[in-house]
Amino acid sequence: MAVKIRLARRGRKKLARFDVVVADARSPRDGKFIEKIGTYDPLTVPATINLDEDKAFSWLMKGAQPSETVKQMLSYRGVMMRKHLQIGVVKGAITQEQADSKLADWKQAKEAKIGSRISNLDKTKAEAARARKEAETKIREARAEAIRKKQEAAAAAAESAEQAHPAEGEAAPAAEPQA
């Protein structure tokens, strides 16, 4: 029986989430599976991968074949590196301690890289929010200036109208009656 490690779709329309499952290669995508070993949410930035690395490693060592997407996820999480190092240990090329130290160094470097990417994303998001707020402030100031100019123009028009037409309280010069 050929065993695959692949994704099974969950979630509603346009909001897909996936389960990482170990399944018979002949079973349908969302059908029967042997074991669920994690979840994957591609809609977050960066994508969220929750994976039981020990189970995934165990299935890989038993001969399960990952799909392309799952293989990339396993590489991202270090499971494929662990498999590669373990094969070296089995062949006698390196010792288990050397393999463990190489894997720990690789994971530490990877975590630093992921952390810097997340901080850069946060920084970019904050800068975009600040720029958006500054643009809104400029628009608000421009609108306030336009309203002020409009009010000044209305006041000036009212003043000129008062000068052209005397106020009703003042008496107009009386015309002399003609006899």
The ranges assigned to domains in the chain are 3-94
Reported confidence tier of residue 129, pLDDT bands at 50, 70, 90: very high
What is the pLDDT, as a whole number, of residue 161?
Answer: 82
Which residues lie closer than 8 Å to 42 by C-beta, 6 or more apart? 16, 18
3-94, superfamily in CATH? Ribosomal protein S16 (3.30.1320.10)
Q: Which secondary-structure segment (H or E) carries 22?
A: strand 17-24
Query: pTM of the full predicted structure?
Result: 0.69
What does pLDDT average to over the chain?
89
pLDDT tens readout for residues 115-126: 898 899 889 999
CA–CA distance, 64 with 59 (Å, rounded to integer): 6
* Partner residues linked to 24 by β-bridges: 3
Reported confidence tier of residue 55, pLDDT bands at 50, 70, 90: very high
What is the pLDDT, as a whole number, of residue 143?
Answer: 93
Give the 3-state secondary structure of residue 35: strand
What is the pLDDT, as a whole number, of residue 59?
Answer: 95
What is the pLDDT, as a whole number, of residue 70?
Answer: 95
What is the pLDDT, as a whole number, of residue 135?
Answer: 93
Over residues 26-49, mean pLDDT? 91
Distance of CA 125 to the CA centre of its chain: 9
pLDDT tens readout for residues 59-100: 999 999 999 999 999 999 999 999 999 999 999 999 999 999
pLDDT tens readout for residues 146-179: 999 999 888 888 888 888 776 555 555 555 666 5
CA–CA distance, 101 with 107 (Å, rounded to integer): 10
